[in-house]
Amino acid sequence: MITSQKALQELIHQARSNDAVALDTEFVWERTYYPKLGLIQLALSNEECFLIDPVSLTDLSPLGELLGDPTVVKIFHDAPQDLTILYQATGVLPKRIFDTRLVAGFAGLSSTISLANLIKDLLDIDLPKTETRTNWLKRPLHHKQIEYALDDVRYLRATRVLLLARILNPTIMGWLEGELERYNEPELYQPPADNIRYQKIKGAGNLNRQSLAILREIVSWREVEARKRNRPRGHILSDQTLLCLSTRKIEDADKLRQCEEITNNVVEQYGQHLLTLINIGRNCPEQDCPPSLQKSKLNKQEQEQLKKIQEYVILKSDVLGLDPSLIGNTAELRALVGIRNQTQQIFPKRLSCGWRKEFIDEIL
């Protein structure tokens, strides 16, 4: 276990002399807004695997130097969450990332495959799943925890080699390289703006524009409050409560108490501010209210068009050895129907550039 700054600096110096290293993180994210980093795993080879202890270390800047080094490939499995946490811990934007989960989708496998299944498919090795609910902040770690953590990086270098060997089509390799480059983009590591988070609330699609204006105000406030207190969003107000506040005619504290899960404590602590936010949303001018999130139903002809597009994507993906889900989700493919019929002008962002545009152009 690397617990001193000197040992960390020496390990990172050794790691930066390699062409590729494997990385993973373990964290706890239960009672806080921000995840708490509990462990960082680093493998230079199958035999040379190390655990870095962020609980003991106060300065992870050497790790940041490795993450930002463009001469060293950093191998992760399902990279986005690990990279976001490491960016928060080091402040360094990563370079040269290889995501085995993503790459699997370009190599004839599922792009959502678990690490255990990928290792089994490629190396015929069974990884134990015994420590998935471990508290990685607690010390000391016992032997099973240590082995479980090391196994998460032990085979990633070999997995990278085997995945790349499966991609024989130069066009697909070029598409993959373009997809991996997105991990270099700073926007990937920035949280969404507070004033658009309401769009992710389950049930928001059923609200009218005025109710969405109220929801936008309350969700944005909840985000700021949760961040300030470093508490989970749901510990401030649940999503169900947000919807209740957005849709009912609430004008005073008594009406607030009629909402599900609104306790007297919440009314005492936040009541007046919530009433102010509700009033702001209710008085929002129509032109400033959010657009409706309701999805229009496809008519029979449009349903047939969507079905044909989905069938084409599956067929072409199968020929190329791609996971069809890499191309676009149902909402994005639905949008293509609107574009073909000239009932929609906004092209889905992911499909408007790069290799996906090349793939989709044939459909249009």
Write the pLDDT tens digit of every residue in 22-35: 999 999 999 999 99
Structure confidence by residue, pLDDT tens digits, 139-190 = 999 999 999 999 999 999 999 999 999 999 999 999 999 999 999 999 999 9
The number of beta carbons lying within 10 Å of the beta carbon of residue 186 is 8
- Spatial distance between the Cα atoms of 264 and 43, rounded to a whole number of angstroms: 52
Residue 86 has pLDDT above 70, yes or no: yes
| pLDDT given for residue 341 in this prediction | 75
Q: Which of 124-133, 285-294, 307-316 has the lowest mean pLDDT?
A: 124-133
- For domain 300-361, the CATH class is mainly alpha
DSSP state, residue 25: E
Structure confidence by residue, pLDDT tens digits, 30-80 = 999 999 999 999 999 999 999 999 999 999 999 999 999 999 999 999 999
Burial class (CB in 10 A: 0-12, 13-18, 19+), 83: buried
What is the pLDDT confidence band of residue 300, given thresholds at 50, 70 and 90? Answer: very high
Helices of type H across the chain:
5-15, 61-67, 79-90, 100-104, 115-123, 143-154, 156-166, 170-180, 209-229, 233-236, 239-247, 253-257, 264-282, 300-320, 330-340, 354-361
What is the pLDDT confidence band of residue 257, given thresholds at 50, 70 and 90? Answer: confident
- The residue length of the chain stands at 364
Contact 44, 242 (CB under 8 A): no
DSSP state, residue 179: H
Q: Which of 251, 248, 275, 274 is nearest to 259 (CA)?
A: 248
Which of the listed CATH numbers 1.10.287.130, 1.10.150.120, 3.30.420.10, 1.10.10.10 matches domain 5-189?
A: 3.30.420.10
Q: Is the peptide bond before 186 cis (omega within 30 degrees of 0)?
A: no
What phi, psi does 173 have (nearest 5°)?
Answer: -60, -40
- Spatial distance between the Cα atoms of 76 and 115, rounded to a whole number of angstroms: 10
Contact 125, 17 (CB under 8 A): no
CATH 2.102.10.10 is held by the domain 194-288:
no
- Spatial distance between the Cα atoms of 31 and 33, rounded to a whole number of angstroms: 7
Q: Could you tell me the residue ranges of all domains in the chain?
A: 5-189, 194-288, 300-361
Residue 363 has pLDDT above 90, yes or no: no
Fold equal for 194-288 and 300-361: yes
| pLDDT given for residue 337 in this prediction | 87
- Spatial distance between the Cα atoms of 172 and 205, rounded to a whole number of angstroms: 37
Q: Interhelix angle for 264-282 vs 239-247, to 10°?
A: 50
CA dihedral (342, 347, 348, 353) in degrees, to 10, reads 140
Q: Which of 300, 305, 317 is nearest to 108 (CA)?
A: 317
Contact 117, 155 (CB under 8 A): no
What is the pLDDT confidence band of residue 345, given thresholds at 50, 70 and 90? Answer: low
